[in-house]
Amino acid sequence: MENSNTIMSMTEHAGYVWPSYGIAALVLIGLVVLSLRAFRKSRDELERLEAQMPGKSDEA
Amino acid sequence: MLHYFANPTRFQRLSRRVEPWLLAAMLVCFGAGLYFALFSSPVDYQQGHTVRIMYIHVPAAWMALFCYTAMAVSAAVALIWKHALADVAAKATAPIGAAFTFLALVTGSLWGKPMWGTWWVWDARLTSVLVLFFLYLGYMALRDAFDEPGRGARASAILVLVGFVNVPIIKFSVDWWNTLHQPSSVLRMDGPTIHPDMLTPLFLMAAAFQFYYFWLVLLRIRRELMVNRTRALRHRQASA
């Protein structure tokens, strides 16, 4: 059992702890990136369409 | 009040105002939470450093249940009162809930191997969480399986409501059946059984995950509203 309190001294369980944080970061950041990319794409598409149809942009 | 903010234009305006604050709160909580989780919190006398997996695993599991409950409420409101925004909220929540459920499963497995000696067991808690993950995937697949979006929304809303029976099963599975998984140690009638030094990072990470959800779901709802508006404009363009 590891007795030291500091994460840097972790040896025995490093192979379980670091992948947990790594996968969490990958999944959460990945979802943000995908969502932002989809958001920008949809926004550009809507703006292009509204520019083609003047007078419709202020409708909900 | 709910009806007031359910107006898409009003919602977008409010959402744009709230999002930066949610983002800032999320970053602060993640910063503090990760510091306490990785550097400041003590090791467990039995589990050693693996206790640090708890600061990801437990908030992710809480969020998996929270997102599904939010989806079920939104689906019910969309079905009963035909609220378009509620339907969009359910759709926007699904991938976030699926991501949290995936994280709960994977980090649970990474915690289980050194502590239980196995990556997986088919017991009630683990199996019911796996079912929850498939419910999220099923919802997303069913929603997109119809040419007419309204039919997909209705069918998937019914699936979410039927699947909600799984939420109390997950919560009480550790009390109802024999399992390797430990019983509740935070949300208990007699108070948490975890040391305050470990509760601090746990609650900070839970808050970070909550702010993450609210920030991202608002962004995703705004995107869905734009998609709906684009579809309506195209329809009008085609019929003109």
pLDDT per residue as tens digits for the range B44-61: 777 778 889 999 999 999
pLDDT(B217) > 90: yes
Matching residue, tokens 């419709």: A56
The Cα of A29 is separated from the nearest Cα of chain B by a number of Å equal to 10
CA torsion through residues B172, B176, B177, B183, sign: positive
- Residue A30: closest CA among chain B residues belongs to which residue? B99
> How much is the pLDDT for B131?
96
- Residues A2-28: what's their mean pLDDT? 81
A43 CB within 8 Å of a chain B CB: yes
Q: How confident is the model at residue B237 (pLDDT cuts 50, 70, 90)?
A: confident
Instruction: Write down the mean pLDDT value for chain A.
Output: 83
A55 CB within 8 Å of a chain B CB: no
The Cα of A35 is separated from the nearest Cα of chain B by a number of Å equal to 7
- C-alpha B165: how far from chain center: 16
Which residue from A2, A7, A36 is facing B38, i.e. has the nearest CB? A7
> How much is the pLDDT for A60?
41
Length of chain A: 60
Residues of chain A in contact with residue B43, where contact means CB-CB under 8 angstroms, are 2-5
Give the C-alpha separation, B129 to B100, whole Å: 11
A28 CB within 8 Å of a chain B CB: yes
pLDDT(A59) > 50: no
Residue of B212, B205, B211 lying closest to B186 (CA atoms) = B205
pLDDT(B8) > 80: no
Q: Which helix or strand (DSSP H or E) is residue A9 part of?
A: none
- Residues B89-104: what's their mean pLDDT? 97
- Residues A14-42: what's their mean pLDDT? 95
| Structure-token pair, residue B122 | 């088919």
- B103 touches B209 (CB < 8 A): no
Please report, as a single letter, which amino acid is at residue B14.
Answer: L
A25 CB within 8 Å of a chain B CB: no
> How much is the pLDDT for B103?
98
> How much is the pLDDT for B40?
82
> How much is the pLDDT for A15?
86
pLDDT(B138) > 80: yes
Q: Judge: A32–B7 Cβ closer than 8 Å, yes or no.
A: no
Give the C-alpha separation, B201 to B10, whole Å: 36
A54 CB within 8 Å of a chain B CB: no
> How much is the pLDDT for B49?
83
> How much is the pLDDT for B186?
67
Count CB atoms within 10 A of the CB of residue B28. 14
Which residue from A17, A27, A50 is facing B49, i.e. has the nearest CB? A17
Of the listed ranges B68-72, B93-97, B196-200, the least confidently predicted one is: B196-200
Residues of chain A in contact with residue B39, where contact means CB-CB under 8 angstroms, are 6-7
Q: Judge: B56–A28 Cβ closer than 8 Å, yes or no.
A: no
